[in-house]
Chain A
Amino acid sequence: EVQLLESGGDLVQPGGSLRLSCAASGFTFKTSGMAWVRQAPGKGLDWVSAINTRGDTYYADSVKGRFTISRDNSKSMLYLVMHSLRAEDTAVYYCVKTGPFYFAYWGQGSLVTVSS
């Protein structure tokens, strides 16, 4: 069974930084593309970033230059490092396994709140 467990969500001040982690299990992590998708409170889904099996990375324009996605295949872990956080980054962040291009499996999400 595919399992994705996010952690690291927190309350952070504007301009601050945060690292989200996602522990993956139940599938061969190194052969799967991964992504982060977020959802602001009461809003729709918003793709943030993706990384393929070769380590190529992709970002939404709204986070480019501020967020960095990475993976550690030896630990089956996905990360999202977020800098210069803004109020509009407040959202539940979902770790997603792609399959190979659509979003096949979703974690339960980690809440990031950016507020002073």
Chain B
Amino acid sequence: EIVMTQSPATLSVSPGERATLSCRASENISSKLAWYQQKAGQAPRLLIYDASNRATDIPARFSGSGSATEFTLTVSSLQSEDFAVYYCQQYNNWPRTFGQGTRLEIK
């Protein structure tokens, strides 16, 4: 099973600033990585697929990069609605696996 490790567990950032979230895979997953956002009490929402492609209706301030084992999600200028929990997930192998999540909180 591929283990996905996200860092940091919690990230405190001020509105308007940039946030950088990391995700590491225990083995090479090519670009088969997605990022999801989950707000309290809501279902997750797809943000990024294939490591760097924004999903439908996702603002341009969200960007993804990386390949193989190291991946990054960047939010260029944080808005109030961006404070949430973010998960990465690999779909290169079965079983599909998620990272443990990064909580992005207001500083």
Residues on A close to B: CB < 8 A? 35, 37, 44-47, 50, 58-61, 94, 99, 101-109
What is the count of residue pairs linking A and B with beta-carbon distances less than 8 angstroms?
A: 55
Given contacts A47-B89, A60-B95, A103-B89, 14 further A-B contacts (CB under 8 A): A37-B44, A44-B87, A44-B100, A45-B38, A47-B96, A59-B95, A94-B44, A101-B32, A101-B91, A102-B50, A103-B34, A103-B44, A104-B55, A106-B44
Given contacts A105-B46, A106-B43, contact A47 B97 (CB under 8 A): yes
Q: Is the CB of A47 within 8 A of B98?
A: yes
Interface residues of B in 25-56 (CB under 8 A from A): 32, 34, 36, 38, 43-46, 49-50, 55
Task: Count chain B residues whose beta carbon lies closer than 8 angstroms to a beta carbon of A.
Answer: 23
Residues on B close to A: CB < 8 A? 1, 32, 34, 36, 38, 43-46, 49-50, 55, 87, 89, 91, 94-101
Main secondary structure on chain A at its contact with chain B?
Answer: strand
Given contacts A44-B100, A108-B43, contact A102 B95 (CB under 8 A): no
Given contacts A44-B100, A45-B87, contact A106 B45 (CB under 8 A): yes
